[in-house]
Structure formats: structure tokens, C-alpha cells
Structure 1
Amino acid sequence: MMTQTKYKTVWNLDSIFKGGSASPNLHDHMKRTEAKILELEEMVKEWTAALESDQLVDVLERLRDIKMSISQARSYAICLLSENPKDQGAQFYRGESTALQSKYDSINSDLKRKLAHTEESEWMNLIASEDLKEYRFTLQEWRDEADREPSQEVSDLMADGYHAWGQFYQSFMSSIKVQVKGQDFSVGQAINLRSHHDASIRKESHEALVEKWTGLEGQFAQILNHLAGFRLNMYKSVGIEDVLHVPLAQNRMKEETLNAMFSVMERYKEPFAQYLNVKADMNGDAKMKSYHFWSPMNHHHQGMEYGEAAALVEEQFLAFGTEMGQFAETAFREGWVEAENRPGKSAVPICAAFPLTGESRVFLTFPGTFKGVLTLVHELGHAFHNHAMKSVNGMNKSYPMSLAETASTFAEMIILEAAMEKAETEEEKLFILDEKLKRSVMNFMNLHARFIFEKNFHEERKKGFVPASRLNELMEAALEEGYAGSLDEVPIHSWVWTPHFYKTESPFYNFPYTFGYLLALNLFVRAKEMGKGFEEQYMNLLRDSGRMSAEELVMKHLGEDITEEAFWEKGMALCVEDSEEFVRLAAYLHKEET
């Protein structure tokens, strides 16, 4: 068995900017970036004549460089804050990078408005230019979305208003301590206890968190209301009434696609409710208690050291394809992963991209469980997506959340499939099926509940402030509907500790996970059919993910129409099979025991 000595559990950030938040290189980098922004801002403002293709290429190249420079600094600050949320220097640079991003967005908005006001004939000639070939999708998207761009005044307010509230949430959450069995835990560590093998610890952790949220719910209600209020007013200022308009546009997805996916999902609640009922019965409960959902099956594979996990990931990524295998080796050996289980870290696993150096960093608190392995590969899947796009023009690297979750889920499937193939007993198979079905339940039930809550909350927020007591009611109702009544002791404070509700960059960061999950399942079926030859097709799909719509991407690389329910039925069928097999195996093992 591999040991942790071969794999470092603490990442290397000095290769990005040496010296942490006191880095002179980081300081100089920020100053250079700011100077580039000011220069470009003047250039765009002075434009009055018709745009020429060479001028536009120059501006786009400058925007690309600035975008990548901001991303490099912001990712570094986020990494520093993940490992130490109290790092004041990192807090400063995150704020500075947010301010630079707002200035960048303002310049971008000016450019979008100029493109929108370009005469159609002039625009067609411009877009047809060979010089702009690789920018065509982005330029057309900018022209189309110009009408929903916030004004200059609103953009200026976002750094210290809208985004600041989102950042305050992260800092506030990272400062919270929870006591379980007389020991202090960060929120991230306490949440990880949901998968502890001891049921009493799972319950005590749950109750400690509930007590904490009950005491703090008023403060979190203020944060959530301010975020949603700002967002709704921003939408109103540009004539947007439907709160799904922006998230659908951000995901480059048609409403027909979302409706087709949800329609399939809503029809298949019963198999997953049955899985929850069977597992609850195995625990001696009539219904699945929320704090037992992540409980591991009674099997020795529930524990795994980090070194063993890293070796498993390297082995299975290489089995999928040479490129993915080499990527995993680089990530582990070059210190791209921060996994140490220690107090004081952020609660949220992340993958941070560093486009200027073509690297990523993955952050998590590795709990020594198989669930932790899946969290690790989920974030490494994001990192591999970044790796696949290294050769892509910087302006075409911005892929939507739905496709980001495709890569992360695909990586999980590689590990789950390998574990299932290696299973030697029925107990092992049940254990792996349980892990797979947890992900199905999260995507088809939990995320559906989040979607329902967020949609209903925004509708109520239009009428005024929504107090914590009402947020609890909305969350409870959403969870009841999302889980089809199959969950007991419903976690009504999910709206507090679910970070996705507080992401200013991505409202409705829920359905993209389900999209990515089902798309990944379709991709995985093809991978099994084609073997290692699929890796090239997979990487081509990832490379195109920043320069076409979701519908166009899937049609080009898979030949499928995702506005039709038939596409989503294929991935769902695999999950239903898992549920049926789990129920069968559970009954068989119960019969063997008696």
C-alpha cells in the first residue's frame, strides 16, 4: 500500500508567486495589470469611427492578456484564503483583483455596446474577417448580450457592493467553529463528519451545526437578501424579469434543454426514493435521516489514506488515457494539490486555474474516506479541463458551469467504475453502488431542491426582505419536493451553508451540476465502447467548450440533440439500473444474514 510520504499533502504556491500575500512579484503583477487596464480603457473610450478588424484584434488580444493576468492573481489570493481564511494580505489582493475585474468588465461592456450599435452590414463584413476567425463566437455572443449589460454606474458599485457581500460570506463561514465530542472543528471538517463510520458522531455533528445555524441565521439571511436584492435590481435596470434568463445565458443553454432535462429528472424520483428507503431500513430507520445520507456502508474500503488515494487516481487516469495519466502524475508530483486535514482551512473544495502558467491548484480537506477520494477526483476533473484547454486562445477559455461539471463528474465516473470492477464481494459492490447512488440523489433530488428554493426565494425577494424564518420554510418545502418526501429530519438551514447560493458570479449554480452529471454519463458510455481511443475525442470536446453553445457542442461531438428528452433518458437509465441493483443486492445480503 502506498503511504503519504510519496505524495505531499500541502501544495506548492511559491512557483506561482513566491512569498504568499507579501510577495513582491504579486504586487508588481497587480500594478502592471492595472496599468494595462487604464491604457485599454482610454483606447476603447476614444473609439468613435467604425471598427476595423485589425483594431478589434488588438483590443481583443489586450483583453485576453488582462483577463488571464487578473485570473492568475485572483486564483492565487483565493488559494491563500482557502488554506488560511484569516490572511489579511490575501483578503486585500482578492479585493484588488475583484476591483480590477470590475474595471475589465466595464471595458468589456463598453465594447459590447459598440458592437451592438454597429450596423448589420458593417457587422457582417467585420465578423467575416479572417483576422477575427477564432473570436467569432465570442464576438457574436457579446453583441447578442449587450442589452443585458449593467450600466457603468452599476458595474462600479459591484466590487464594493455585490461581490463584497459574497466575499464576506466566505470569510464569515471560514471563521465559524463547531464543537463535536469536545473538539473544535471548522465548518468543512464538521460537514465531513457526515460520512463518519460512527452514527453517534454523525448525529452530534449535525445537531451542533443546526444549533450554530439557528444562532446565526439572522446574519446569513441579511447576506443572502442583500445579494439577491442587488441582483434583482441589476436585472431590473436592464429590463430582465425572468431570473433564469442570466443563468441560462451563462450556461449557453436553451430553456428547452433545461426543461427536457428537468422533465426526465422529475419522472424518475421513485427509484432513488426507493434506494433511500432501503438504506434507511438498513440503518434501522423508517425514513432516511438527512445526517445519515453520507454514511458509508459497513465495508473496509470506507477508509483510505491520501497516498493510497493519489496512487489510485494516477493508475486509473492512466488507464483511461495517456494524457490524463501524465496530467495526474504532474499534479501530484509538482504540488498542485492541498489535501491536509487540519483545522482553520476553508470549508469549500476548489480548483483554481492559473492560465498564465498553464497550471491549476486543487484544494480540499481530505478526510481519509472513499468519499474524499471522489471529492479529490472531482476537483482534478476541473483541473484536467483547464489542462485540455492550454492551447486554446485565452478569450475562448471561458466555458460555462454546466460543462465544467461535466469534466469533474467524468473523472468521478472513472474512479467509481474502476472500484466496481475490482470489487470481489457482494458487500464491496453494494458499497460502490451506494457511492454512485449518493451522486445520483444529489443531482436529481438535492440539486432539484436547491433550484426550487432559489427560484421561489427570488420571486419572494422581489416583494421585499425575506426573513430567516421564511427562508427555513422555503428550504423545507423545496427539500420535501426535491426528495419526493423520502427524507427525514430535513436540513432546513441548507440555505445557510450551501455556498452556491452566495456565488455572485453564478446565480442558480445548481442545474449545471445535473447537466454535467448526465452528460458525463453519456460520455462515459462512449468511453467504455471506444477504450483509450476516446481520450482524443473527449479532449476535443473540452477544447471546444468555451466557443460554442451547449447544444452545438453536443451535436458536433456526439451527434445528439439535447433539447430532446431522449438524450437525457440515456444517462438516467444507467442511474436507475444502479438503484435497482442496489435494492436487489441489499435484499440478497439481508437474506444471507438471516
Structure 2
Amino acid sequence: MATYSDVWNLEVFFNGGSDSAEFAEHLIKTAELIESFQTKLNNWKSANSPKVSQYIYDLIANFEQTAKKLRQAGAFVGCLQAQNTDDKKVSSLKSKVTSLSAAFQTALSTFDDLLISIDDNSWLKLLEDSALNELSFVLTERRERAQDKLSKEEEALINTLGIDGYHSWGQLYDLIVGKIKIPFIENGEEKQLSVGQAFNKFSSPDRDVRKSIFEKWENAWSEQADYLTKTLNHLSGFRLSVYEKRGWQDVLKEPLTISRMKKETLEAMWKVISENKQPLINYLNRKAELLGIEKLSWFDLDAPLSKVETKISYQEGAEFMLNNFSQFGDKLASFARRAFEDEWIEGEDRPGKAPGGFCTFFPESNQSRIFMTYSGTPSNVSTLAHELGHGFHTFAMKGLHHLNRNYAMNVAETASTFAEMIVSDASVKNAKTDEEKLALLDDKIQRTVALLMNIHARFLFETRFYEERKHGSVSTETLNELMLAAQKEAYGDALEEYHPLFWASKLHFFITGVPFYNFPYTFGYLFSLGIYSLALKEGKDYEEKYIALLRDTAQMTVEDLAKKHLDVDLTQKDFWERAVQLCIDDIDEFLDLTK
């Protein structure tokens, strides 16, 4: 068995970490490119010039080069911050990258202004140019979105004010969370756990451990609640003010636009989920019986059924993933093997790391990096497979123009969930005993509960919170009440104790890049189930079709993507009902095994 490092290598990008002179130079070059881009835009004279197509093509080349440099910088800073939350210098670097991003967005506002200055007939002729034809979808999308916004000057002002306003609140959240320590006694010794380490304890087979850590968890977030309430209110207030100025009434307008998705599709998905909650509730009730309790509490949701804690070493987890990815397709397995061999993964279980997991891409180096805290649970294996799926999505788009690689979050979650499904299914099928099979099936259903219940609660909370926020600042007490009501509705009141401070502990509510960082996960999960069912039927022959779908994800709406590659209508309930039924099949098997 090969030995893989569980610590990533960032030195290949910029030597020296947060002290890197190379990175400082990279930021200077990025700033120069942004300035050059803005200067070219300012020199724009006439949309009717016979050389207009060449002029725009030159601007796009500058756009692409600048976007790659900025993305490279953002990925590096994000990795530095995640690997060591105590690195004081990262905060300064992140501020610099944020300022550069704002300057670039301001330049792009000018670029968008140029696009909308071109009349419709000239625009259609422009897109017939062979050099621009491949970008017709993304350029038309930019043009239409720009027509829906404020003037160039007003949008530039919003971007500038967002540096010390909007984005700073998101950075403040990171700062607060990085300082949170949760006490935990292990083998008679008190340890100070990071948020990420404490979260992993909710998978402990010992209910006393789970309950104890949950009490300390709630207390830790409660102590910071006043700061986090203010942070969330100002972040959302900034966003709502911008929406109001643009004349956007529906808070879902921006997230749906970003997701290239119709509201009818979202409503059809949630409707089917709401109509099929009972099997999920039946599962939760059966699990409570198996754990010997009357009703599950929030801290029991990730509890394993076996009292013996299953531990899978990092090396074992890696080999298991590689073996099963190869059953689906050679390219997925080859990509994953490179990620392990070339030290693309930060999985070490140590203090000082940020919570959660992510995959980020370094476009100038054409490499990904994956972050998580691997402590050996079956859930950790699934998380790592999930993040490798994200990386494979980026790999599948190799060779496409950078502007045609900007896929939305909902389809991004498709590739990750697909990879996760391969590993989860293989785990269940390879189980040596009924007890092991049951435990693995339970772990798989836990993710279904998370995506169809937990994410639903997040969506309900955020939708209602924004309606409240329109009328003024929302108190901590009201935030807790909104979250509690959302959780009870989403879980069918199947739990004994909930997590009213979940709004504080979940990073996704404080992310400034993408509003409503919730429903795309559920979309991606169910969408990938439809794709996965095809893969099961066709075997290895399906990989090329799968890659073709992934390559299209940034060049059409999700409805068109589904129609082209799956021949389904996402605005209707049929597709979602078939996808949810696959989840119910797992639950039926679980209930049958535990009669």
C-alpha cells in the first residue's frame, strides 16, 4: 500500500507561506493587470467601430489573465487561513486580495457597461465572430445581468464600499470563529478543541461524549452570539440595501441568477421533499429505538449505531476511494491518485485548523487543493470523496476558456455528490457483516437527512430571516426563534432537542460571495442521483458522457443542461420524485434490516 501525506503542499505555488516574497510580487502584478484592464476599458470610444470584435477579444484576453491571477491569489490566501487560523499575517493578505477583487469588479462594471452600449443587432453580429462565438452564452449572460443592475458608477461605488463594509463582516466572522476554543476532557486531560475538532466529536459512539460536547458547543456560540448577531445583521443589511437600490424585490433573485436556475425548479424540488418527509421521520424514529432513546436530539444525528468506533486510516481511506473510483472510470481514478500522490490534500487532525472542508482551484498552476480534518470516521471518507469530486469537475473542464469554466454552485455540488455516492454505495456493498452494512447504510442516510432536512431548515431560516431583516435589525432571541421553528418544520418535529444557535455556528450564513449558500447542495445531491442511476446502468462507458455533462455546466442554464444530457424537465416534479425515491429506497432497506 502506498503512503500518502495528509498535509498539503502550498510551496509549489508561492514559497514561504504568508511571508512569501513571490506572493507579494504576484499581488503587485495582479494590481498592474487590473489597472491595465481598466485603462483599456476607459479608452473605449465607439461600439460601432469595424474593429469592435477584435477590441472586445483583446479585452477578454486581459479579463481572463487577470481573473486567473486573482483566483490564484484568493485560493492561496484561503488555504493559508484554513491551515492555521492563528496566522496573523493572513488577515492582511486577505484584505489585499479583497481590495484587488473589488477593483477588478469595478473594472468589470465598466466592461459590462461596454457590453450594454452595443445595440441588439450589432451584438448578434458580434457573436458570429469565430473568436467570440464560443463565449456567446457567458457574454450574453453578462450583458443581460448588467442591464438588470445600476449604472457603472453606482456599481463601482458598491464594490468599493463593500471592501470595508460587506466583505469585512464576513472576515470578522472568520476571526471570531478562529478564536473559539471548546474544552473537552479526554483520558483525564482537558484539551482546548478548535471548532473543527469539536464538530467531529458529534460522531462519537458515546452519547455522553456527544451530549457533553454539544452543551459546551452551544455555550461557546452563545458567548459570541452578540458579536455574531451584529455581524449577520450588517452583512445582510448591506446586501438588502444593494437589492433595494437595484429594484430587486425577491431576495432569491441573486442566488437563482447565480445558479442559472428558475424559481419553478427550486419550488418543484422543495415541494417534492416536503411531501416525502415521513420516510425520513420513520428513519429518525427507528434510529432512536436502536440507540435506546425515546427521541433523537440534534447531537444524535451523526451518531454511529455501533458502540465500537469505526476507524479508517487515511491510507486505507485513500486506497478504498481509488479502487472504487476506478470501477466507474479511469479518468476519475487517475485524477484522485494524482491528488494523493502530489500532496493536494490537507487532512491532518491537528488544532488551529478552520472547521469544515473545501476544494479550491489554482488556475495558473492547473492544480486543486482540498482541505478537511480527517479523524478516521466513515463520514470523513465521504467528505474527502466529496471534495475530490469537486476537483474532478474542474479537471474535466481542462482546455476550456477560463470564462467557460465558471460553473455555479448547484451544479458544482453535482460532481462532488456523485463521487461521494460511489464511495458510499461501495462501502455498503462491501460490508462483511449485517452489522457493518447497517452502520454504513446509516452513515449514507445521515447525508440524505442532512441534505433534505438540515439544508431545508437553513433555507427556511434564511428566507424568513431576510423578510424580518427588511424591517430592521433582528435580535439574537429572534434569530434563535427563527432557527428553532425552521428546524422543527424541516425535521417534522422528530427531534427532542434542537440547535437554535445553528445560525451562528454555520459559516454558510456569513459567506459574502454567494447568498443562500444552502439550496444548491440539495439540488446537486438530487441531480447527481439522477446521473448516478445512469452510471450504474452503463458502467465505465458512462464516464465520457459524464465528462461531457460537466464540461457544459458553465455554458447553459441547469434546465437546458438537464434537458440536453438527461432529457428531463427540472421545473416538473417527476425528476425530483424519482431522485427522492432513491433516498427512500435506502431508508426502506435500513428499516427492513432493523425490524
- Please tell me the TM-score bracket, short chain as reference: over 0.9
- Give yes or no for contact 1:280–1:289 (8 Å, CA) kept in 2: no
Counterpart of 1:298 (choices 306, 329, 339) is 306
Residue type at the aligned position of 1:178:
I
Q: CA deviation at 1:88?
A: 2.6
Aligned residue in 2 for 1:83: 83
3-state SS in 2 of match to 1:327: helix
- Give yes or no for contact 1:148–1:240 (8 Å, CA) kept in 2: no
The CA distance in 1 between the partners of 2:548 and 2:14, in whole Å, is 31
Bigger shift: 456-465 or 154-163? 154-163
Counterpart of 1:21 (choices 18, 29, 33) is 18
3-state SS in 1 of match to 2:386: helix
Matches within 5 A, 1:71-470: 71-146=71-146, 147-148=148-149, 151-181=155-185, 182-298=190-306, 302-470=310-478
3-state SS in 2 of match to 1:60: helix
Does the alignment pair 1:518 with 2:526?
A: yes
3-state SS in 1 of match to 2:335: helix
Matches within 5 A, 1:488-567: 488-567=496-575
The CA distance in 1 between the partners of 2:342 and 2:130, in whole Å, is 40
- Give yes or no for contact 2:205–2:309 (8 Å, CA) kept in 1: no
Alpha-carbon spacing, 1:369–1:328, altered in 2? closer, same or farther (3 Å): same
Residue type at the aligned position of 1:570:
R
Residue type at the aligned position of 2:87:
D
Counterpart of 1:44 (choices 17, 41, 44) is 41
* CA deviation vs aligned residue, 1:415-467 (integer Å, no higher than 9, x gap): 01111221232212211221111111111111111000000000000110101
The CA distance in 2 between the partners of 1:369 and 1:97, in whole Å, is 35
The CA distance in 2 between the partners of 1:168 and 1:493, in whole Å, is 18
Residue type at the aligned position of 1:59:
L
Normalization by structure 1: what TM-score?
A: 0.96
- Give yes or no for contact 2:290–2:305 (8 Å, CA) kept in 1: no
Residue type at the aligned position of 2:334:
Q
The CA distance in 2 between the partners of 1:138 and 1:235, in whole Å, is 23
Q: CA deviation at 1:45?
A: 1.9
Residue type at the aligned position of 1:81:
Q
The CA distance in 1 between the partners of 2:490 and 2:162, in whole Å, is 33
Residue type at the aligned position of 1:552:
D
Q: CA deviation at 1:137?
A: 0.6
Aligned residue in 2 for 1:592: none
The CA distance in 2 between the partners of 1:137 and 1:29, in whole Å, is 31
Aligned residue in 2 for 1:591: none
The CA distance in 2 between the partners of 1:302 and 1:572, in whole Å, is 28
Normalization by structure 2: what TM-score?
A: 0.96
Aligned residue in 2 for 1:8: 5
Bigger shift: 265-274 or 306-315? 306-315
Residue type at the aligned position of 1:179:
P
Bigger shift: 66-75 or 291-300? 291-300
The CA distance in 2 between the partners of 1:575 and 1:94, in whole Å, is 40
Q: CA deviation at 1:303?
A: 1.5
The CA distance in 2 between the partners of 1:465 and 1:299, in whole Å, is 46
Q: CA deviation at 1:556?
A: 1.3
- Give yes or no for contact 1:299–1:431 (8 Å, CA) kept in 2: no
Bigger shift: 419-428 or 354-363? 419-428
* CA deviation vs aligned residue, 1:376-399 (integer Å, no higher than 9, x gap): 111111111111112111111111
Aligned residue in 1 for 2:30: 33
* CA deviation vs aligned residue, 1:262-317 (integer Å, no higher than 9, x gap): 11111000000110011011112222111011011217672111111111111111
Residue type at the aligned position of 2:85:
P
The CA distance in 2 between the partners of 1:204 and 1:303, in whole Å, is 22
Q: Which runs of 5+ in 2 are unaligned?
A: none
The CA distance in 2 between the partners of 1:82 and 1:76, in whole Å, is 10
3-state SS in 1 of match to 2:436: helix
Does the alignment pair 1:484 with 2:485?
A: no
The CA distance in 1 between the partners of 2:398 and 2:96, in whole Å, is 26
The CA distance in 2 between the partners of 1:318 and 1:328, in whole Å, is 10
3-state SS in 2 of match to 1:202: helix
Residue type at the aligned position of 2:174:
Q
* CA deviation vs aligned residue, 1:129-171 (integer Å, no higher than 9, x gap): 2221111011110111112356211111112211111112112
Q: CA deviation at 1:93?
A: 1.9
Bigger shift: 285-294 or 122-131? 122-131
Aligned residue in 2 for 1:59: 59
- Give yes or no for contact 1:148–1:235 (8 Å, CA) kept in 2: no
Residue type at the aligned position of 1:445:
M
Bigger shift: 196-205 or 222-231? 196-205
The CA distance in 1 between the partners of 2:506 and 2:310, in whole Å, is 25
The CA distance in 2 between the partners of 1:23 and 1:487, in whole Å, is 49
State the Cα RMSD in Å.
Answer: 1.3
Residue type at the aligned position of 1:148:
K
Residue type at the aligned position of 2:263:
E
Q: CA deviation at 1:183?
A: 1.6
* CA deviation vs aligned residue, 1:480-525 (integer Å, no higher than 9, x gap): 1111111221100000011110010111111100100001111110
- Give yes or no for contact 2:356–2:372 (8 Å, CA) kept in 1: yes
Q: Which runs of 5+ in 1 are unaligned?
A: 588-594
Residue type at the aligned position of 1:394:
H
The CA distance in 2 between the partners of 1:422 and 1:18, in whole Å, is 43
Bigger shift: 138-147 or 223-232? 138-147
- Give yes or no for contact 2:47–2:117 (8 Å, CA) kept in 1: no
The CA distance in 2 between the partners of 1:292 and 1:439, in whole Å, is 14
The CA distance in 1 between the partners of 2:411 and 2:569, in whole Å, is 16
Q: Percent identity at matched positions? A: 39
The CA distance in 1 between the partners of 2:115 and 2:227, in whole Å, is 42
Q: CA deviation at 1:90?
A: 2.2
Q: CA deviation at 1:46?
A: 2.4
Aligned residue in 2 for 1:590: none
